């Protein structure tokens, strides 16, 4: 459908907790080493939410920054989409807590669950509402308190994840404007749902002793199999985005990928012939912050002066589900 409108990023924000957990710290409690974690993942440290922090509190800080940078007031927000796999509670949605914190009571607020792909899924949903002309201002927030769902005795998963939040204020603009979200592509394949899962059967069997004993309320992952699938799906969906927009690698100023593993990103870059210097990486500082990793990347790159008006960024994500997707943004 041709539309006279499109979505544009009018403001960004990000928040990471103060507490830093380094690889060296992990050496004290796990049979691991800074050297192993750095060479296998690129991660040096990650942030851990304080006891009084959660997905909603971190999301609210990031969202407030996004509103301020877009010069939009909370009562002008039409919709709040929080992308999270670590909601404060099963219900109500984390987005409703964010709405309350922001006093943004003219909005519809809800969460979506697409795990590490969540932010691009949220972006895609928001894009449709803005293109259709239905709404004017939508907050899309990725926020995760991953430290609450990792098994801190499982060295193959706990070293990977960190906490944090990132947000964008998406604004409806006319097609003729030069800035905007140029495309979003999102996909899922539920036949791969066993690759990364928190299997605790709250909805199927309620909280039960067996799931507690089996540590099923924590992340379980087949790291190796996930790695291979991630490289393939992320590369293909980025290529699809470039082709859709008639862009060549040279036309793109940055690749902003989901930060799951430095080696996944390097393998994708090699497959696509994408120059490493154009890739925005934050994994060394924050680990894998799931749905927050892309908008944290925006803010980090902006603060470092790497994103300038007119630049084109391609985003690529993959996560549990399996879910994957891409988007192209002109700043
Ligand atoms: N420290 C030291 N050794 C570790 C370790 C750690 N933190 N974690 C695992 N190992 C060991 C394993 O036990 C294994 O030992 P073994 O050979 O004696 O059995 C060895 O290291 C190799 O394990 P393997 O799982 O093959 O390593 P890998 O190179 O695949 O790296 C991951 C593991 C998890 C870092 C990697 O598979 C990965 O990043 N996968 C993708 C995960 C992901 O991105 N998930 C989120 C997607 S959104």
What is the number of domains present in the chain? Answer: 2
Same domain, 74 and 121: yes
Residue in 137, 146, 236, 288 annotated catalytic: 288
Task: Tell me if 212 is assigned to some domain.
Answer: no
For 209: left if phi > 0, alpha if psi spans -120 to 50, otherwise beta; the answer is: alpha
**Strand intervals (E) in the chain:** 5-15, 19-22, 45-48, 79-83, 108-112, 137-145, 163-174, 180-188, 196-197, 220-221, 254-257, 312-319, 323-330
Task: Tell me if 48 is assigned to some domain.
Answer: yes
Could you give the CA distance from residue 313 to residue 252 in angstroms, rounded to a whole number?
6
Domain of 172 in residue numbering reads as 5-179
Same domain, 152 and 295: no
Ligand 1: atom nearest CA of 317 is: 48
258 is catalytic: yes
Same domain, 185 and 156: no
Q: Which residues line ligand 1 (CB under 6 A)?
A: 32, 36-37, 40-41, 116, 155-156, 159, 196, 221, 223-224, 226-227, 230, 260-261, 264, 288, 318-319
Same domain, 166 and 185: no
Could you give the CA distance from residue 168 to residue 126 in angstroms, rounded to a whole number?
11
CATH code of the domain containing 300? 3.40.47.10
Same domain, 168 and 185: no
Residue in 23, 83, 96, 116 annotated catalytic: 116
Global pTM reads 0.97
Ligand 1: atom nearest CA of 37 is: 7
Task: Tell me if 52 is assigned to some domain.
Answer: yes
Q: Which two tokens stand for residue 186?
A: 């999102």
How distant, in Å, are the alpha carbons of 117, 260, 315 from that of 253?
22, 21, 11
Same domain, 32 and 103: yes
Same domain, 169 and 227: no
Could you give the CA distance from residue 30 to residue 331 in angstroms, rounded to a whole number?
43
Same domain, 138 and 61: yes
For residue 225, the CA-to-ligand 1 centroid distance in Å is 10
Same domain, 140 and 185: no
Same domain, 11 and 120: yes
Same domain, 29 and 168: yes
For residue 293, the CA-to-ligand 1 centroid distance in Å is 20
Q: Which residues contact 200 (CB under 8 A, 6 or more apart)?
A: 207, 211, 216, 217, 218
Same domain, 164 and 186: no
For residue 223, the CA-to-ligand 1 centroid distance in Å is 6
106 is catalytic: no
Domain boundary among 128, 144, 179: 179
Q: What is the chain's pLDDT, residue by residue, as a tens digit (331 residues)?
A: 678 999 999 999 999 999 999 999 999 999 999 999 999 999 999 999 999 999 999 999 999 999 999 999 999 999 999 999 999 999 999 999 999 999 999 999 999 999 999 999 999 999 999 999 999 999 999 999 999 999 999 999 999 999 999 999 999 999 999 999 999 999 999 999 999 999 998 888 999 999 999 999 999 999 999 999 999 999 999 999 999 999 999 999 999 999 999 999 999 999 999 999 999 999 999 999 999 999 999 999 999 999 999 999 999 999 999 999 999 999 9
Task: Tell me if 215 is assigned to some domain.
Answer: no
Task: Tell me if 322 is assigned to some domain.
Answer: yes
Task: Using DSSP, state whether 208 is helix, strand or coil.
Answer: coil
């Amino acid at each position: 459908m041709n539309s006279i409108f499109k979505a544009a990023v009018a403001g960004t924000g990000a928040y990471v907790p103060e507490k830093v957990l380094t690889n060296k710290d992990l050496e004290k409690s796990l049979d691991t080493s800074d050297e192993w974690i750095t060479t296998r993942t690129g991660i040096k440290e990650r942030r851990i939410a304080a006891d009084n922090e959660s997905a909603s509190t971190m999301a609210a800080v990031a969202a407030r920054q996004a509103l301020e940078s877009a010069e939009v007031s909370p009562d002008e927000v039409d919709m709040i989409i929080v992308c999270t796999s670590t909601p404060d509670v099963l219900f109500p949605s984390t987005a409703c807590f964010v709405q309350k914190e922001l006093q943004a009571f003219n909005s519809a607020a809800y969460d979506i669950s697409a795990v590490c792909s969540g932010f691009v899924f949220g972006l895609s949903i928001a894009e449709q509402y803005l293109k259709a002309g239905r709404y004017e201002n939508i907050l899309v927030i990725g926020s995760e308190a991953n430290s609450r769902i990792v098994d801190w005795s499982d060295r193959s998963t706990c070293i990977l994840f960190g906490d944090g939040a990132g947000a964008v204020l998406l604004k409806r603009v006319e097609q003729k404007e030069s800035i905007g979200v140029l495309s979003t592509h999102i996909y899922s394949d539920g036949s791969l749902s066993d690759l990364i899962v928190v299997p605790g059967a709250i909805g199927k069997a309620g909280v039960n002793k067996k799931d507690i004993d089996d540590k099923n309320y924590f992340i379980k992952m087949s790291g190796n199999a996930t790695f291979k699938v991630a490289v393939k799906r992320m590369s293909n969906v980025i290529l699809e985005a470039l082709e859709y927009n008639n862009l060549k690698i040279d036309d793109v100023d940055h690749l902003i990928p989901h930060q799951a593993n430095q080696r996944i990103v390097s393998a994708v870059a090699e497959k696509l012939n994408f120059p490493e210097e154009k890739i925005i990486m934050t994994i060394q500082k924050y680990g894998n912050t799931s749905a927050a990793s892309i908008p944290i990347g925006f803010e980090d790159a902006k603060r470092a002066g790497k994103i300038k008006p007119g630049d084109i960024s391609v985003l690529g994500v993959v996560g549990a589900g399996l879910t994957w997707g891409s988007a192209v943004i002109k700043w």
